Amino acid sequence: NAGVTQTPKFRILKIGQSMTLQCAQDMNHNYMYWYRQDPGMGLKLIYYSVGAGITDKGEVPNGYNVSRSTTEDFPLRLELAAPSQTSVYFCASCNTAGIQETQYFGPGTRLLVL
């Protein structure tokens, strides 16, 4: 089991460029999440998905888009990158929506927008 994998590990973008952050899990989890983590701040939920074909906005969705065509994959799309999107992005998955369920996190993608 690889768990939750994320690519790339690190990326530098110019203002206005676009990119897709990849996330995949091999645990057959229904629920998947995208968070961003800024220095000195807690994790903020960007988008989440309760299953293939179903996504919903979290706390900070502006400037991002997601899709969930399969159970395994949950890519995050950044359109027109801005310096405010400089952050560390984490993907997570869990088996059910129950808050007592462990969310398994990937290793993160560090994004720098210049």
Partner 1 sequence: QKEVEQDPGPLSVPEGAIVSLNCTYSNSAFQYFMWYRQYSRKGPELLMYTYSSGNKEDGRFTAQVDKSSKYISLFIRDSQPSDSATYLCAMSDSNYQLIWGAGTKLIIKP
Asked if the peptide bond before residue 8 counts as cis, ω within 30 degrees of 0, the response is yes
Least separation in angstroms between CB 107 and partner 1: 6
With contact defined as beta carbons under 8 Å apart, do 37 and 84 qualify?
A: no
Which pairing describes strands 64-66 and 76-78: parallel, antiparallel, or unpaired? Answer: antiparallel
Tell me whether residue 10 or residue 15 sits nearer to partner 1 (CB atom).
Answer: 10
For partner 1 (CB under 8 A), the number of binding residues is: 22
| Cα separation, 92 vs 6, whole angstroms | 10
Of 13-21, 38-46, 65-73, 77-85: span binding partner 1 (CB under 8 A):
38-46
Work out how close the CB of 98 gets to partner 1 at its nearest, in angstroms, rounded to a whole number: 7
List interacting residues with partner 1 (CB under 8 A).
Answer: 4, 40-45, 58-59, 90, 92, 97-100, 102-108
